[in-house]
Chain A
């Protein structure tokens, strides 16, 4: 079974600072993908970034980067130069790469950016 753990229920950060959202995972699958989604107050789920378990490089997408440490089973999201619009719920998720496997979500971290 797969499990995602996000230990930070809430984070408060000053605008323009960088922020790291923690995510650890557990799986017995040899091949898997790790994902981060953003859920603003409007409720939609917005895909941010993806990391494959065999990718050698850490994924980056604009201001988002994923600090992937496979031996530690961690996949932390780093947001550089935070903006007020980054205030939202952030979910870490994973799925096996084999077949149509479901996405398993963590509990989420509510990020608040202060002006």
Chain B
């Protein structure tokens, strides 16, 4: 069964460093998303991406964040200069259109 894959599963970084979180959405899906979940809290929307551009972003998604779909299969989230409060589980998701979002297993980011 096709699935969304995310790498790495865990990422530890120093404050101020750049990180890139990688995702491979399901191949025929057209809409892509990043969410984050701080430990024990709700799942928060970061950004949605369609037709090679951002379709919506939240207040969390400031200038430190960027997304890219460089080669038609990967979908990346970059955090330019990480802060302690960026520590969270980051989920990538994709969908064909109106149905459920299919989530990857997440990348646990720890900023020290």
Contact = CB atoms under 8 A, between A and B. Distances in A.
Interface of A: 33, 35, 37, 43-45, 47, 50, 91, 93, 95, 97, 99-108
A44 B56 contact: no
A45 B99 contact: no
Q: Is the interface of B mostly helix, strand, loop or mixed?
A: strand
Interface of B: 30-31, 33, 35, 41-45, 48, 50, 55-56, 89, 91, 93, 95, 97-103, 105-106, 108
A90 to B, nearest CB: 12
A104 B31 contact: no
Given A33-B98, A43-B89, A45-B91, A102 B45 contact: yes
A111 B100 CA distance: 22
26 contacts: A33-B98, A37-B103, A43-B89, A43-B108, A44-B105, A44-B106, A45-B43, A45-B103, A45-B106, A47-B100, A91-B42, A91-B43, A93-B43, A95-B101, A99-B55, A100-B31, A100-B48, A100-B50, A101-B48, A101-B56, A102-B48, A103-B35, A103-B45, A103-B93, A104-B45, A108-B43
Q: Is the interface of A mostly helix, strand, loop or mixed?
A: loop
A50 B50 contact: no
Q: Which of A44, A45, A95, A103 is packed against the most chain B CB atoms within 10 Å?
A: A45
A13 to B, nearest CB: 21
